[in-house]
Chains A and B, each alone.
Chain A
Amino acid sequence: MQIKDFSLDEFLKRYPQVTKRMKLLSLISLVVIVVLWAINEIIKSQETFQIKMGRTIIDGLAFSMLLFLMVSGFFLIFGLCDIVNFAHGAFFMLGGFLGYEIYLATESLLLNYSIFENNLFVMSLTAFIIACILTAAVLGILGGAIEYVTIRRLYGQLVGQVLLTVGFMYIITKFCEIWWGSSVFTFTIEASSEKNYFFLGFTDTIDLGRGLVFSMYRIVLIFVGFAIAGIMFLIFQRTRIGLLIQAGIEDPEMVEALGTNIRMMFTFVFMAGAALAGLAGIVLVPWLGANSGHGTTYLLYAFVIVVVGGAHYGRFEGTFFGSLIVGLATKWTEYFYSELTGVIVFLIMVIILIFKPGGLTGEA
């Protein structure tokens, strides 16, 4: 009888299930190490951890809802029309400034005619809602006009589109810089009131104990954001135009062949995208204010989220989850590892693109 030398390679070749289990084991051990480290961290600083985590969740959710509002417009334009809209950040910024002006005008009008008398909260809420609607309408008309007059001629020409949208970005950004300057404009929705509304007495802030104090606006923003996302999902799933847009993202030529005026749809989508950008712009104002520097910053967020969510043939859900990931991750690093704040977003993008080149829902 011959005794063979033991060889690890041959042994592994003969029993492939061992390799499989070893892989699983190494993965599990990695996860266990990470979890143990996390638990260690938590135990070390339980109090601060909870506070930081609470802030991360609330701020992150609010921030991701805001991002979702803006990026959904960018996604619509990018997905359906296949245009990298560099002017989207500028629309967002213009929305903030316009919303600020309209809010002030409406407020003074309402105060002049004293419609709500002493109920300042309802007064300022009404003014805010009116400002939101008007801003979205104005931006929608602006976006539609830009599409109808210029971009319409350039479908299929990547270079021309880039130059054109950058041109509009320049025009709008510099106009805002000249008109409003470089300072931050903000207003607050009047919180104090004699009556209690809904489920809460509206106060400036909400205290969840342990030093977790949030402004009410952010929590409302979370709910509003989820509600708007829900409405949009319904539109995409149930209405004809939503289904057409989804089909157009998948295969525009087939949609056109089946008798839809896809050019009309492009204009409509451009209007909707610009309107959403404007809406997001004014929603940001009571929280972070309107500033002429916001254009570029949020444009980069839009790039990242659309790529994470699925750029080509992507679906709407991808953008939603992409903005959730990006918003939460940004706030998480802000509270835990502040030196990584600027980098984390792009790291996420790189990681997701390496493992799923088409993004979360798209195809490579």
Chain B
Amino acid sequence: MTFKEELGFLDRILKIVESMLSNNKSLIAVITFLYVLPLFTTTIRSDLRSLLDLLTFIMIFGILALSFELQLGRSGLLNFGQVAFFGVGAYTIAYNQLDRSVLPDLLDDIFTGEIIFSNSMISPIFDLIYSIPALGPLIEDYLLNTYIWAFILAVFLGMLLGCLMGLTTSRLKGTGFAFIALAIAMVIYNYYNENPDISGGETGLSIKSHPLFKSFDTYQYFIILTILSFFLFQIMIFLFFKEKRSISPFLFSKEEKFQRRGPKSNSYVIYAMIIGIIGLLLTLIIPYALAFLSKQDIIPSELNIINNITNMQEIPEYENYFRLIPNRYYFVLSCLVITYIFIKRLTNSQFGRTMAAIAQNEDRAEALGYNVYLCKIIAVGISGGIGALSGALYITYNYTISPENALHVVITIEVMLYAIVGGLGTIFGPLFGAGLVIYSGFKLPEIIDDIGMDLNDILNEWNDWAHNENIPILKDLTSILKELEVTGEWWPIILGIIYVLIVLFFPYGIIGTIKIRSLSIKEKLRLYFRIRESEYWLYALLVSSIILLFMLESQLSLYLFPLVGILILIALNFRPKRHKI
């Protein structure tokens, strides 16, 4: 008789957590990296601070590109009206923060608790909640805040608009849908453009930074989030070492030998507690160790995390407050993480597979009995919600919003480029594409300026030479070429050439091409570099830190590159020993 093991509730949850952690190593590593990054910002203006701003911008448009990819890559719907969602989200937040409140006063009263507390039936419950020390202010500041609710309203409105666009898919297929979506977006744009009193006209509506993004309290909550993600990261590393070592009964065990002994109640809980204590100790030790080392002048003072955090508290009011506390970055990052996980779950679900079936062959999917029409509406609706979220986040970044920067069709084209350059059919692709294109937009002008200077010098030499030798054709040619004056403003042309080259050499986008060839790439990595799939997280971390250093161009790289090298060495030499059976 076989004995079936029955696990307790807590054990089951822990087991699910364990499998989730060991299946998404790279994702957790990168997320932790991004969460930990702002801890190294000091109150003095550093390079990292402006880099965080750039990253925020990239992430906002990355979310928009994700929502575009959800339509084109997953359900085969080309939508030229993506910008409408973006604009709806942005204007919802703007209206809510300005005089013309979208959320009416009644809602305001509910959220600030006046109505709830006047109701004697509910008030004892709320009193109870408020009596819990940490929870009361948390609810009052964040859950009952109209600003947060405006985000939810923005997402809801975006979904509504998406469903409206989706309704047209019943009659129009392919490019027809693209054009009608464009028409809807253009009607909104033109209406807003011609009515400056609601849209703010060319100067746009300007919105002040919300106190939520200025407060140190919010920052503390985000730091708690950071610690949590770091904690997850540590557990992930534990699991990784366990897998490498294959020591059977040390951590969450799956060994058969162990299971045959019968149900072990609370075994998972005990191991989880051990790991938790070790993790907590590490989380406490690392900042203090960094602080100690930086006080001894062994490492630069920017790495003193504790000092960085406490200094944030003492920033004077008149300073450019929102630039100094990285709340905005954390907020956008959290939204991005939620969106990423949501899309990942969605595409792996039943609904996601139905969408893929529709994208491949619509008639066949319909013949098999799927409700194609409803599925498309839901897909466009979800995508609209995500697009509106990105628009709502954009207003926390830009503070002025006009039809030109929130509703113009150029944004659709840009977002299309982000998604396609990165690669359709992947979740990471659009984010990568957004990062690449936006960063090159910031960086290309400088590079081209340098190249242009060199070119001008060369042309000058040629010109002198041609004048000396008196060659008429060369004289004219060099003088014409000198008029061109390659400067930084040429970058869009270079970018266009890069797009063309990408299409010709990476027809499925950069990440898309890698994904298509992933099997052979994995094989090659295993054979030539001895990198297993379970170790990819390490390299993801390495690559992201190298990208960071490249973007920073800072002295920090001098300290970190040796560390990176050591990590690589460890990874290459850390091979599991063979079992002796």
Interface residues of A, Cβ cutoff 8 Å to B: 84, 86, 150, 153-154, 157-160, 162-164, 166-171, 173-175, 178, 296, 300, 303-304, 307, 311-312, 339, 341-343, 346-347, 349-350, 353-354, 357-358, 364
Contact = CB atoms under 8 A, between A and B. Distances in A.
Contacts of A86: 413
B106 interface: no
Nearest to A151: B503
Given A162-B420, A175-B493, A167 B179 contact: no
Nearest to A350: B183
Contacts of A357: 171-172, 176
Contacts of A166: 413, 416-417, 499
B349 interface: no
B133 interface: no
Contacts of B187: 343, 346-347, 350
Contacts of B421: 163
Contact of B503 (A154, A339, A353): A154
A84 to B, nearest CB: 6
A174 B492 contact: yes
Interface string B428-449: 0000000000000000000000
A343 B409 CA distance: 14
B490 A171 contact: no
A311 B173 CA distance: 11
B496 A170 contact: yes
A163 B175 contact: no
A167 B500 contact: yes
B78 interface: yes
A346 B413 contact: no
A346 B417 contact: no
A347 B187 CA distance: 8
Contacts of B175: 84, 311-312
Contacts of B497: 167, 171
B424 interface: yes
A339 B175 CA distance: 29
Contact of A346 (B173, B183, B195, B420): B183
Contact of A300 (B171, B180, B186, B424): B186
Contacts of B508: 159
Interface string B492-528: 1101111110111001100000000000000000000
B496 A178 contact: no
B172 A163 contact: no
Nearest to B193: A342
Closest CB pairs A-B (n = 6): A342-B190, A167-B499, A170-B496, A171-B496, A174-B492, A346-B183
Given A178-B490, A300-B186, A353-B171, A163 B176 contact: no
Interface in B127-181: 168, 171-176, 178-180
Given A160-B503, A311-B175, A357-B172, A170 B492 contact: yes
Contacts, number: 125
Interface in B451-510: 489-490, 492-493, 495-500, 502-504, 507-508
Interface of B: 72, 78, 168, 171-176, 178-180, 182-184, 186-187, 189-191, 193-195, 409-410, 413, 416-417, 420-421, 424, 489-490, 492-493, 495-500, 502-504, 507-508
Nearest to A153: B504
A157 B507 contact: yes
B493 A170 contact: yes
B194 A159 contact: no
Given A159-B424, A353-B179, A357-B176, 8 more contacts: A159-B508, A163-B502, A170-B492, A170-B493, A343-B191, A349-B179, A350-B183, A364-B176
A74 B377 CA distance: 30
A160 to B, nearest CB: 5
Contact of A150 (B173, B410, B493, B500): B500
A41 B289 CA distance: 84
A82 B153 CA distance: 40
6 contacts: A160-B507, A170-B493, A178-B490, A312-B175, A342-B189, A349-B179
Nearest to A344: B190
A324 to B, nearest CB: 19
Contacts of B507: 154, 157, 160
Contacts of A175: 493
A346 B190 contact: yes
Contacts of B173: 364
Nearest to B410: A296
Nearest to A170: B496
